[in-house]
C-alpha cells in the first residue's frame, strides 16, 4: 500500500496515521498475537528442510512413514544398524496398534518416532475436533508402547490446511514434511528410489521413504552408500531442525536468523512457532504426489512518500 500525492497541509494527519500503522505492525510482530484480521490471509507451512549452520556440512535425515504393513521393518532396522544410522519413523496409530513389536523394536534401536495420525485421514478435510482426535489418539498409542510422547507430526499423504498446521502447533508439536521424495510408494525400482533421493538431496534435506513399500529395503544399502560418497552425514529430524530463533522461507526451509539469503523469507519464529504470511486461504494444501512446498507471497509493502518524510 503506497501513500502518495498528498499536499503539505495534510502532512501531520498522514504522519500520525502512518506512525500508528507502523506501531500496530510492530506490536503484533513482537507479541506474536494473531487476531482474526491478521490471520485472515495468513498461511502456514510445515518444515520441509533445514539450512545447516555450518555451510560446509551436509546433514540429511532419512524418514520412514509406517502405515501399511511391517514386512520390511526388521530388514530396515538391520541395515540402519549396520551403517550406524539413526533415522526418524512416523507411525500411524492403527499401524502401531497392529504391530506393537515393531514399534518397540524401532524405539529400542534408538530411532526417533513421530506421529503420522491415527487413521491416515486427510488432514486438509478435517475440522479441528477431528484433527485433535487423530493426533492425540496416535500420540497416546505411541506413548503406551514406547513410554515417550512424540514431538514431531507428519500429516498423512502430505495433505494439510492452515487449520491443521495451526492445530498441530497448538498441541505443542512440530509439523514436518520433506523436500526429497523417494517415490517408493509408487513401487518404483530400488535403483529409481536411490536416484530419486540422491539427485534431489541438498544439505539439510528431509528424505521421504516408507516401510512396507515394495523396494525400499532393497534400495536402502545403495542409497546410504551413495549419500555417504556424496559427503552426507545422517541425523534425525529432531536433531536437524531449529526450535527457536529461525525463519522459514517460501519453500519451507528453515534458516537460523541472519543466515537466509532468500529475500522473500516471510516468517518469524516467536516462541518457537513460525508465523508465515501468504495470499492463500485456509484451504491451502499440499499432496504427496508433489513434494514441493507451497509458494508463499511476500507481505504487502508500506511506502511513505518523500513528500511526507523528507
What average pLDDT does this structure show over 63-90?
Answer: 98
Examine residue 284 and state whether it is found in any structural domain, yes or no. Answer: no
Confidence of residue 224 (pLDDT cuts 50, 70, 90): very high
Examine residue 102 and state whether it is found in any structural domain, yes or no. Answer: yes
Examine residue 39 and state whether it is found in any structural domain, yes or no. Answer: no
8 Å CB contact between 224 and 79? yes
Between 85-94, 153-162, 204-213, 259-268, the lowest mean confidence (pLDDT) is in: 259-268
Examine residue 149 and state whether it is found in any structural domain, yes or no. Answer: yes
Above 70 in pLDDT, residue 51?
yes
Examine residue 148 and state whether it is found in any structural domain, yes or no. Answer: yes
**What pLDDT does residue 258 have?**
58
What average pLDDT does this structure show over 269-289?
Answer: 36
Answer with the residue of higher pLDDT: 284 or 70: 70
**What pLDDT does residue 93 have?**
98
User: What φ, ψ does residue 276 adopt, rounded to 5°?
Assistant: -115, 130
DSSP per position, 54-79? STT--EEEEEEEE-S--TTHHHHHHH
What average pLDDT does this structure show over 253-260?
Answer: 77
Examine residue 71 and state whether it is found in any structural domain, yes or no. Answer: yes
pLDDT tens digits, one per residue of 139-183 = 999 999 999 999 999 999 999 999 999 999 999 999 999 999 999
Above 90 in pLDDT, residue 7?
no
**Residue 160 belongs to domain with CATH number:** 3.20.20.370
**What pLDDT does residue 281 have?**
32
Above 80 in pLDDT, residue 50?
yes
Examine residue 37 and state whether it is found in any structural domain, yes or no. Answer: no
Above 90 in pLDDT, residue 283?
no
User: What φ, ψ does residue 47 adopt, rounded to 5°?
Assistant: -85, 125
50 beta partners: 254
Specify the residue for cell string 491415527. Answer: 118
Distance of CA 91 to the CA centre of its chain: 16
Examine residue 310 and state whether it is found in any structural domain, yes or no. Answer: no
Q: Which helix (H) or strand (E) holds 139?
A: helix 128-146
**What pLDDT does residue 53 have?**
94
Above 70 in pLDDT, residue 308?
no
Above 90 in pLDDT, residue 136?
yes
Between 8-22, 46-60, 72-86, 142-156, the lowest mean confidence (pLDDT) is in: 8-22
Query: Which letter does DSSP use for residue 154 in this model?
Result: -
Say how many domains are in the chain: 1
pLDDT tens digits, one per residue of 14-45 = 444 444 443 433 433 333 333 222 222 245 89
pLDDT, mean over the chain:
79
Provide the domain limits for residue 106: 49-240
**What pLDDT does residue 257 have?**
79
Return d(Cα 165, Cα 163) in angstroms, integer.
6
**What pLDDT does residue 259 have?**
52
**What pLDDT does residue 43 have?**
58
Amino acid at each position: 500500500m503506497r501513500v502518495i500525492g498528498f499536499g503539505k497541509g495534510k502532512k501531520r494527519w498522514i504522519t500520525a496515521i502512518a506512525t500508528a500503522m507502523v506501531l500496530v505492525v510492530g506490536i503484533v510482530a513482537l507479541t506474536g498475537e494473531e487476531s482474526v484480521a491478521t490471520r485472515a490471509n495468513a498461511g502456514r507451512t510445515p518444515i520441509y528442510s533445514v539450512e545447516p549452520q555450518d555451510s560446509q556440512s551436509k546433514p540429511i535425515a532419512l524418514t520412514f512413514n509406517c502405515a501399511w504393513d511391517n514386512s520390511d521393518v526388521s530388514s530396515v532396522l538391520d541395515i540402519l544398524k549396520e551403517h550406524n544410522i539413526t533415522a526418524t519413523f512416523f507411525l500411524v496409530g492403527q499401524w502401531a496398534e497392529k504391530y506393537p513389536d515393531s514399534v518397540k523394536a524401532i524405539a529400542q534401536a534408538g530411532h526417533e518416532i513421530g506421529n503420522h495420525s491415527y487413521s491416515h485421514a486427510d488432514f486438509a478435510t478435517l475440522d479441528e475436533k477431528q484433527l485433535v482426535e487423530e493426533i492425540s489418539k496416535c500420540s497416546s498409542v505411541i506413548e503406551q508402547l514406547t513410554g515417550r510422547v512424540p514431538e514431531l507430526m507428519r500429516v498423512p499423504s502430505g495433505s494439510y490446511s492452515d487449520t491443521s498446521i495451526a492445530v498441530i502447533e497448538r498441541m505443542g508439536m512440530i509439523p514436518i514434511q520433506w523436500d526429497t521424495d523417494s517415490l517408493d510408494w509408487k513401487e518404483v525400482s530400488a535403483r529409481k528410489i536411490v536416484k530419486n533421493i540422491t539427485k534431489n538431496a541438498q544439505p539439510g534435506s528431509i528424505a521421504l521413504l516408507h516401510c512396507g513399500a515394495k523396494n525400499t529395503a532393497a534400495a536402502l544399502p545403495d542409497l546410504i552408500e551413495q549419500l555417504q560418497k556424496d559427503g552426507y552425514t545422517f541425523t534425525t529430524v529432531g536433531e536437524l531442525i531449529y526450535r527457536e530463533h529461525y525463519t522459514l522461507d517460501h519453500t519451507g526451509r528453515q534458516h537460523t536468523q541472519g543466515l537466509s539469503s532468500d529475500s522473500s523469507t516471510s516468517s518469524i519464529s516467536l516462541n518457537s512457532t513460525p508465523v508465515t504470511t501468504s495470499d492463500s486461504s485456509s484451504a491451502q494444501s499440499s499432496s504427496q504426489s508433489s513434494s514441493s512446498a507451497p509458494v508463499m507471497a511476500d507481505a504487502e509493502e508500506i511506502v511513505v512518500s518523500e513528500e511526507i518524510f523528507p
